[in-house]
Structures are given as structure tokens and as C-alpha cells.
Amino acid sequence: MESAAASALFASAQRKIVRRIVPILMLMYTMAYLDRINIGTAALRMNAEIGITQQVFGLAAGLFFIGYLLLEIPSNVILHKVGAQVWLTRILVTWGLISAATAFVQNGWQLIVVRMLLGVAEAGLFPGLIYCLALWFPPSMRGRMLVILVLPWAVIIGTPMSAAIVQYADGWMGFSGWRIMLFVEGLLPVLLGFVSAKFLTSTPEQADWLTDEEKRAVISAREPDDAIAADTPEPPLRQTLLQPHLILLSLAYAMAQMGFYASLIFTPQIVKEFGNLLHVALSTVQVGLISAVPSIFGMAIYWFWVSHSDKTGERVWHAIASFLVAALGIWILVAVPSLYASVIGLALMTAGLVSGPICIWQLTAIGVRGKTAAVVFAYVNCFGIVSSMFSPYLVGLLKDLTGAYDAGLAALALAAVLGAAFVFVASRLMQHRKLLGSVGRATAVA
């Protein structure tokens, strides 16, 4: 009876957390990615208007990550000290104002500067969200909660919305449609900042909307081995960050982000190009709608896959399979000259490049806690930032050199295969250290 009562108490607390915390975190992620990728929709008209090449556009999209990289770890350290309510709200407001300012750029250099400032403002957001999930949910639920956070609403809803504004608001008050789109969508995170400041709670201990019994249930469930961990001193941070398996997992994450960010940025232009090759005249809105379709199918695939990983507790082979599915999707995209096949290829690529990193985040969380966990999440994300920084430039450069996206996509497929290899080798090292069982599940020392 006591066990049933405890389960009911925990379930009640989790329902409250899901209703209150998860929607705010999901909107933060959605708006962050909308403000990253709407530049791709704007490029359909912006590039010609301000006179920039694909190479310069790719450079501007990639240099967003310079400031993000420099401040990633310091941002998460501050988050650990002051709490999510203060720090994530600060991130929201400052990045929203800078994103809105992108609407007023007049040339490529101004675009590059504003994008770099945007990276400075947004630094630490994603690993901060990962850290928040670790504070509120047990390991067996974090994969599914992370999937909810990263559901591609920025693509499914945001890209068609962006395209509609670009097309139908063009000329309003004398401004180009892409400028209006960037300004309006930049103000959305500022508005969310007011909601975050009022309703986001940093930790279960501070949640006055949970009973004392519910707080204790959440805290005890989030780390089953807390009692052991509390008596065990944390290893030096440098030693933790230089562990070979963590470096390999970080490299695998970098390979996934290389393809994921480049695909988000260039998907509208890839879709438009396929339309031109197949002699199908696509309007800006049609490009936006078609660009959203792969994410809808991809969402169903990776929700199933990550849920299966959570239920079985197996992470390694789920991550490896995800990378290989992404590589298959890219191969279809390049090899089959059909708009429908392109949508299928983009869907498989999206599904693989989202579900793989989610499994990787579960693996990197094994054996870390507290401030170390906050730094580790930021550290791993730094690898993804570096690859995201260069991949749009690489794809844009190869497009300018070859006249097609095939070479750039082939590079992304190779990166996905390398990601699978990195996960495999990392898992063997983790098994040797007894962090993983033989089937990729965390052991009791995790």
C-alpha cells in the first residue's frame, strides 16, 4: 500500500511539473530555433536584396556560434548559481531584442555582426534546458521530456509562418517582408520572458506549488543514487572533461549538430532548388509548407524511437541506429531525383539527427551531478556549436563551387556515419569503466 501511495504521489507531482515547467522550456527552445532558422526563410529574398552570396550567408549563419561558444560554459555556471528563473529569462529578453534588430541590416557585414551578437545573448540556453530537466525528472523520463522540448514546432509552424509573413507582408509600411518577419519573430521571446519571470521555478525545492511530500518524491526520484553520491567527492572537473568516452560522445554530438543545423538553415533553399530542377514553380509559402513536412514525419519517428530507448533503458544502439538512419535519408535526398523522395529523405535525416543526440545526452549524464553536470552539458554542447559554426559555411561554399547541394549533403552523410562510430567506441570505453552494462544501459554507479 505504501508503494502504491508513493507512486501516486510521484505521479501527481510529475503531472504538475509537466503542466507548469515543460511548456515554458519547450517554448524557449522553439523560439530559440525559430530565431536561428528564420534567417533561412529570409534568405529566399534577403540575399538578393542586400547583395550577398551563399558563401557569405553561410558564414553569417555559422558565426552565430562564436559568441555562443565563448560563453557557453560560463553561462551554465551562472545558471547553476542564480537559477533558471533569473538566467533563462535574461537570455530570452536579450536574444529577442538582438534578433529583432536583424531586420535592419543593410549588407553582409552587418548581418554577420548581428548574428554574432545573437550568439552571445543566447549562449547557454540549450544545455541550461538539459540541466533543468535533470533537476525535475528522473533518468527514465528525461529522454521523452527532451523530445517534447525539441519537437520541431519552429519548423512545422514557424517556417510556414515565416514564409507567409515574407510573402504577404512584403511592402507593408515600406518594409520588405523578410524584415517584418525578423522583427516580429524577434519580439516573441521578449514576451515569453515576462511569462518565464513569473512562472518558471528553478528547482523542486523552490516550488511552492508542490506539497512538501511531492517535493521529496521528486528529489528522491531524480537521482536514485543521491545518497551514495552525496558521500562521494566529485572528481576534479578537468579530469571529468578529459575522459575519453566523454570526448568521443561530444564528437558524436558534433557530427549530429553539423548535419542538423545545416539542414535547418538550408532546407527552404534545398526545397526551392528541387522545385526548380523538377520544373515546379513554388511560391515562398509553398516552400515553407513543404519544408515543414519532413519535420512532421520526423517527429513521429523520433518520438517512437526515444520513447523506446527510455522504456528499455538502452541508449547506445538507439543512438547508432539514429545516425545510420540520418545517413540513409541524406543518400535518398541526393540519389533520388524526386520532390517526394526529397521529403522522405529530409524526414529520415531529421529523425536521425534529433533522436541520436537525445540518446547521447542520456549517456553524457551518467556519473555526473550538481555543478559538474551543468559544466559537462555545456562542454558537450560546445562541440556541437563548433560543428554548427562551420557546417552552414561548408554547405554554402560547396553550393557556390559546384552549383548544387549534393556535395554538401554528402559531407553531412559522412559526418553521420562518423557519429555512429564515435558512439560505438565510447560505449566500449564506458563498459570498461563499468558505467554501462553490456547492452548499453547505465549501471548503478551512473
E strand segments, 168-324? none
Dist. CA 177–CA 265, nearest whole Å: 18
Dist. CA 19–CA 71, nearest whole Å: 31
Cell of 11: 505521479
Dist. CA 386–CA 372, nearest whole Å: 21
pLDDT for position 86: 94
Q: What separation, in Å, do the N-terminal and C-terminal C-alpha atoms of the chain show?
A: 30
pLDDT for position 397: 80
Total domains, the chain? 1
Report phi then psi at 442, rounded to 5: -65, 140
Q: Is the pLDDT of residue 89 over 90?
A: yes
Comparing C-alpha atoms, which of 300, 307, 272 is closest to residue 286?
A: 272
Residue bearing cell 520513447: 307
Q: Is the pLDDT of residue 441 over 70?
A: no
The confidence band for 228, taking pLDDT boundaries of 50, 70 and 90, is very low
User: Which residues make beta-bridge pairs with 442?
Assistant: 436
Is 366 within a domain? Answer: yes
Q: What is the per-residue pLDDT across 316-343, written as a single tens digit (0 to 9) for each? A: 999 999 999 999 998 998 888 777 787 7
301: part of which helix (H) or strand (E)?
Answer: helix 284-312
Q: What is the per-residue pLDDT across 43-67, written as a single tens digit (0 to 9) for each? A: 888 888 898 887 788 788 777 778 7
Is 213 within a domain? Answer: no
Q: Is the pLDDT of residue 287 over 60?
A: yes
For residue 284, what are the contacts with CB-CB under 8 A and spacing of at least 6?
41, 44, 45, 163, 166, 167
Is 40 within a domain? Answer: yes
- For residue 254, the domain's CATH number is 1.20.1250.20
Is 227 within a domain? Answer: yes
Q: What is the per-residue pLDDT across 7-42, written as a single tens digit (0 to 9) for each? A: 788 888 889 999 999 999 999 989 988 887 788 788
Dist. CA 172–CA 8, nearest whole Å: 55
Longest dimension (CA), the chain: 71
Q: Please answer whether residues 409 and 330 qualify as being in contact, where contact means their C-beta atoms are separated by less than 8 angstroms.
A: yes
Q: Is the pLDDT of residue 230 over 60?
A: no
Q: Is the pLDDT of residue 225 over 50?
A: no
Dist. CA 399–CA 271, nearest whole Å: 14
Report phi then psi at 282, rounded to 5: -110, 130
Comparing C-alpha atoms, which of 224, 168, 190 is closest to residue 92?
A: 190
| Single pTM value for the model | 0.74
Q: Is the pLDDT of residue 272 over 80?
A: no
The confidence band for 418, taking pLDDT boundaries of 50, 70 and 90, is very high
Q: Is 442 helix (H, G, I), strand (E, B) or coil?
A: strand
Dist. CA 105–CA 383, nearest whole Å: 29
Is 206 within a domain? Answer: no
Range of the domain at 133: 17-198+223-432
pLDDT for position 150: 77
Dist. CA 14–CA 214, nearest whole Å: 9
Is 131 within a domain? Answer: yes
How many residues are there in the chain?
Answer: 446
Helical axes 159-168 vs 284-312, angle rounded to 10°: 170
pLDDT for position 416: 94
User: Which residues make beta-bridge pairs with 436?
Assistant: 442
238-261 burial by CB neighbour count: b if 16+ within 10 A, else e? eebbebebbbbbbbbbbbbbbbbb
Is 2 within a domain? Answer: no
Comparing C-alpha atoms, which of 123, 60, 63, 53 is closest to residue 94?
A: 123
pLDDT for position 226: 43
The confidence band for 1, taking pLDDT boundaries of 50, 70 and 90, is very low
Q: What is the per-residue pLDDT across 130-162, written as a single tens digit (0 to 9) for each? A: 888 888 988 778 888 887 887 777 777 887 888
Query: Mean pLDDT in the chain?
Result: 83
Is 211 within a domain? Answer: no
Question: For the residues of 26-56, what is the DSSP string, one character each?
Answer: HHHHHHHHHHHHHHHHHHHHHHHHHT--HHH
Q: Is the pLDDT of residue 275 over 80?
A: no
